[in-house]
Amino acid sequence: MSRQWRSRTEAAGSRVIRRLAAIPPIAGLAACLWLGCAEDNINRQAWTERGRAALEPFKEELRTALIEGLEAGPEEAIDVCRVLAPEIAGEASSKNVKVGRTSHRLRNPENAPKPWMEPLLESYSKTPDKSEPEVVRLEGGGIGYVEPIYVKPMCLACHGKTISSDVASRLDEHYPTDRARDFEEGDFRGLFWVEFADTE
């Protein structure tokens, strides 16, 4: 290798190192999760199929409960999300597979995102037309899977810009720190998530 070529190579390597060092830790993690680290060796297609299969019972049961609740009135639907949704998530989970929901704008603090979910929430928030699920390797072992949730017309009675006074009063009673209002149809609402405890 010539001295000139070695010098150019070393200079290029130094520039890469400086750029990587300049990336904030959280941004670097988000980029890794978002783009997929080449060395993670995740079979994304297989885990996506497993993630979808794990979420389907939870999503279907929750959808049915919400429709029935809305038929009885928005106030009843609030109780579905507050009481039944955690129970449905628990029933759809197992020892090695956990499912749930989270958001960047929480209504129920119990749905707060786990650390591995936060970069994904940020990425989906900044890319509102992204609909593909994501698969990530979890620190300490296991696999995480997420699907985005977008606001549908039936969600607006409790999450929209125009909420009845009765619904607002019920929300204020149960969720004094509520940040899940003023949405429009099609807005990014949050994530359905799955945690697989093992990678087998």
pLDDT of residue 200: 62
The tally of domains found in the chain comes to: 2
Residues 21 and 103 in one domain: no
Residues 102 and 150 in one domain: yes
Residues 47 and 31 in one domain: no
Q: What is the pTM of this model?
A: 0.78
Residues 111 and 185 in one domain: yes
pLDDT of residue 31: 40
φ/ψ of 97, rounded to 5, equals -135, 115
pLDDT of residue 93: 97
Residue ranges making up the domain that contains 24: 1-35
pLDDT of residue 19: 42
pLDDT of residue 199: 65
Low-confidence ranges of the chain (pLDDT < 50): 1-39
Residues 57 and 143 in one domain: yes
pLDDT of residue 40: 63
pLDDT of residue 129: 85
